[in-house]
Amino acid sequence: MLTKSKKEFIEFMMSADVLRFGEFKTKSGRLTPYFVNTGNYKTGKQIATLGKFYGDLIKKTCGNDFDCMFGPAYKGIPLVTATAASLATVHDMDKPYFFNRKEVKDHGEGGNLVGYQPKDGDRVVIIEDVITAGTAIRETMPVLKNAADVTVKHMFISVNRCEVGQIPGKTAIMEVSEEFGIEVHSILSVQDIYEYLKEQGNYETVLKAMEMYMEQYCILH
């Protein structure tokens, strides 16, 4: 259902040139008529607004029931930082956060994690932008498990693309849930974007392309 909050988030992403329409190639090699590029957020106000959307969803979904937040490099770094700030200022939840380096540092304190150092038993929440084929999460879990004996129950993303993963009949998010026991929560789904464009009434070409793409690659509930 397209709520007021979801509409606001779609319009926010479009105004920041983060949600774009045209022809784009995803990480999984699919040609998609829409693309979410969180790398296009570039002002203080934008990142603060984004952090608030994530923070609100976390508070609503799991309250205080986690120990720390992880943002996978590179796009997860500003996301987890902004979310941590929003949780502290808006919801009075001062949670530690950390992220990884792509390259292990061999000088100074060394290691590949920056910020909070996870401990055995920590319940980690992952903050990401989107899941298309589940590739990033498969790279992320070994990083976390090598750091400490942590559990990951929740992951938060901007958009659920509802796309088939590596197994026919299952979305990448279903695979992640089954493989790692992680519940993935999104601010929006591809259906919300489709419904929004339909309401606007001047996106016929994009809607047609989205319908074809969704029919080919998406599993919609």
Marked catalytic residue, from 4, 102, 107, 221: 107
Q: How would you class 2 by CB atoms within 10 Å of its CB: exposed for 0-12, middle for 13-18, buried for 19 or more?
A: middle
* Other beta carbons less than 10 A from residue 74's beta carbon: 12
Annotation marks residue 91 as catalytic: no
Marked catalytic residue, from 105, 119, 145, 208: 105
Peptide bond into 74 cis (omega under 30): yes
- Helices 44-62 and 4-15, packing angle to 10 deg: 150
Annotation marks residue 185 as catalytic: no
Report the C-alpha gap between 163 and 202 in whole angstroms. Answer: 25
Both tokens of 121, joined, read 């038993």
Residues with active-site annotation:
105, 107
